[in-house]
Amino acid sequence: MKPVAGSTFHPLERADDLHDGYLKAFAAGDCDLVLTQQGGVPSILEGICPHAGHPLAGARIIGAGLRCDMHGYVFDVHNGACTYFTEGPCRALRVYRHELRGEMIGVLL
């Protein structure tokens, strides 16, 4: 996939620092993001829970899920789908394409 014209690479973390269970929040461009890795696969997801607008900076990784610390909603770390909810279903988290440049993993925005 070719980068979108005018998009900017935002480095987030050294790729060597990633490991299964890794989770860290970042701000890049105008986006709140979370970078995670599970099953050896990194993912960059929207960093705000779509259920109630709570930041996912305090979320936890549980298996292949990202659990929001406000209401316990769980989202698949690979495709963003809401896999568990407590107050009714909500949309999936947006998933952003990650890119490796040199030693850094980042996102194009």
The sign of the CA dihedral 60, 45, 78, 3 is: negative
pTM value? 0.91
Enumerate residue ranges in the chain where pLDDT < 70. Answer: 1-6
For position 6, what pLDDT does the model report? 57
For position 4, what pLDDT does the model report? 52
* Percent of the chain residues past pLDDT 90, beyond the cut: 93
